Amino acid sequence: MRQRNIMGVGVDTLSLDFGPSKDFKSPVTLPGAGKYGLANLASVPPSGALIVVGSPKHKGASRALALW
């Protein structure tokens, strides 16, 4: 995040963190920096889907909804 001006991160796995992670920093670090993190994108079809990303007002949380 320091080197690139990203808006968020999306992965096809069930977690934003590397599998054997012990500290699970991504779900805390991304929202804390005003970025979004989307996981489990493998279940979304490669075309024809609309992903809506929103940010509720409570600290450290994000919401996303995929429609197809």
Per residue in 21-34, pLDDT tens?
A: 888 888 778 878 88
pTM of the entire structure? 0.65
Domain segments of the chain as ranges: 8-67
- Cα–Cα–Cα angle for 24, 30, 34, nearest 5°? 155
Where does residue 30 rank: exposed (0-12), middle (13-18), buried (19+ CB within 10 A)?
A: buried
The reported pLDDT for the residue numbered 55 is 55
Share of the chain above pLDDT 90, in %: 3
Q: Which residues does 51 contact at the CB level (< 8 Å), separation at least 6?
A: 38, 44, 64, 65, 66, 67
**Averaged confidence pLDDT in the chain:** 79
Residues 24, 61: Cα–Cα separation, whole Å: 15
pLDDT in tens, 30-54: 878 888 888 888 888 889 988 877 6
